[in-house]
Structures are given as C-alpha cells and as structure tokens.
Amino acid sequence: MALFNEIQVGRYNRFLQKLFSMKGPPAMAQLASELQPVFHLFNGIENRALEGWNRYATAPNTAASAANTGGVRLRNPAGSNVIVVLERIVYHPSANDTPAFRWGTATTDLAVVPGLTNIRLDARQGANAPTLVVSTQNTTPVVPTLTNQFTIDGPDVLAHAPYFYMQTEDQELAIAPGDAFQAEAGTVNQLARWSFLWRERLLEDSERT
C-alpha cells in the first residue's frame, strides 16, 4: 500500500528501532500530515552511535622548529561519501600567538600523517579508524596553503592558555568530501598543541546529489 509523505532516509528508522529495541517494519515510515503532540525525550551523545554517527578525537602537536611554523590539516577525501562534523577545536600555544584557522579544498596532506587506527570514542560504533585524514607539518616558514583557501578566524591567544574555538553547537563545522580545515600557528619556533573532536557518518543518497 502506498504511503503519504513516505520517508526514504533509513537512518532515522534505524535510530528508533535501536533506541527502543523495536522489531518488524520501519517504525517511522511516513511524516505526519496533521498537527501532532510531541513529548521531548532526552537524547544525548550516548545515542550518536544509534543514529549512525562515529565519534573520534586526537591531540596532535608540532614541535618547535627554528624559523618555521607548525600546522595541522584535517581533510575529508573526495569521494568518501562521508560527512564530518568538527565538534571541538582547542589550541594550546607555548608562546603568545595569533593562529590562523583556514578553510578550503585539498587532495594532498601535510608532511606527517600519523596512523590514527584506533581513536574511536564509542565501542559500539562501526569503525575504529576515521575517514578524516589528519596531517601535520613544521618544516617550512609558511604551512602549505589549501586550494581556494580563506581564513575563518585569527584570534589572539596567550601562552599556555587553552583557546576553545567553538562555544556553541552552531559553531560546529561540517566538512564535506573534498573539503579541508587547516589550523596554523602564527609564531615561528614554538611547540603548538591542538585538540580535535569530531563525528562522522555516511551521506544519505539524497545528500549526494
């Protein structure tokens, strides 16, 4: 039997079935066509795995290098069919600094690509290793630029004072396939430490066109 306003995105049905341990056909097969009363249920990060998200975290650093600056690139490979959402970016400079946070596209990585094979934050999720490629570099005076690069922020940060770039959920950054985020220290010859937390999921068919 045909359904009115039939829902074609399966991950919401899977979320309801897993959350409530429901059997049988799709629990939410169509959108309501009338005004419906709603009782809000608490839905925290413990349910991200049930919603199809994988969560990861890493804390790379770039060592002090004479006359050179350090940087970190977060690249979502083109054709990955994965959407990445940056949830947290923290910068820990060892000197007063004005770092640059940049956006663009990239097909290559910086000089060092650490092996991030088991950095998952939830044992229930499907993949231990992320799709996002994290790379670092501190061997040049200027970190290699992204394609179509532009700067989204350049704050003044005090030495040894953690700088939290994101304060609200609306400041999270979605990295589509082919896009990249890059964070660069502004002061040469300093130890720069970074902390990143993000989530990933497969794109739905409707999101790929």
Do 35 and 102 lie in one domain? The reply is no
Please check whether residues 34 and 125 belong to one and the same domain.
no
Does residue 168 form part of some domain?
yes
- What is the 8-class DSSP label of residue 108? S
Same domain, 189 and 118: yes
| 151 and 115 fall within a common domain | yes
For residues 31 and 106, state if they share a domain: no
**β-sheet bridge partners, residue 83:** 201
Is 131 part of any domain? yes
The Cα–Cα gap between 39 and 36 comes to: 10
Number of domains in the chain: 2
Residues 103 and 86: their CA atoms lie apart, in Å, by: 13
Q: Cα–Cα–Cα angle for 47, 90, 68, nearest 5°?
A: 140
Together in a domain, 32 and 78? no
In a domain, 48, yes or no: no
pTM to 2 decimals?
0.86
Contacts with 144 (C-beta within 8 Å, 6 or more apart), sequence order = 110, 137
Backbone CA torsion sign across 115, 120, 123, 127 = negative
Bridge partners of residue 105, in order along the sequence = 147, 179
Helices (H) and strands (E) in the chain, counts: 1, 11
At residue 173, the pLDDT reads 98
pLDDT surpassing 80 at residue 120: yes
State how far the Cα of 96 lies from the Cα of 100, in Å rounded to an integer: 13
Residue 88 has pLDDT above 90, yes or no: yes
On whether residue 37 sits in a domain, the answer given is: yes
Same domain, residue pair 17 and 110 = no
Residues spanned by the domain of 156: 54-207
Q: pLDDT, tens digit, for every residue of 40-85?
A: 888 899 999 999 999 999 999 999 999 999 999 999 999 999 999 9
- Separation CA 80–CA 133 (nearest Å): 11
- Model confidence at 1: pLDDT above 70: no
Q: Please give the average per-residue pLDDT across 113-130, as a whole number.
A: 91
Do 80 and 28 fall within a single domain? Answer: no
DSSP SS3 for 45: helix
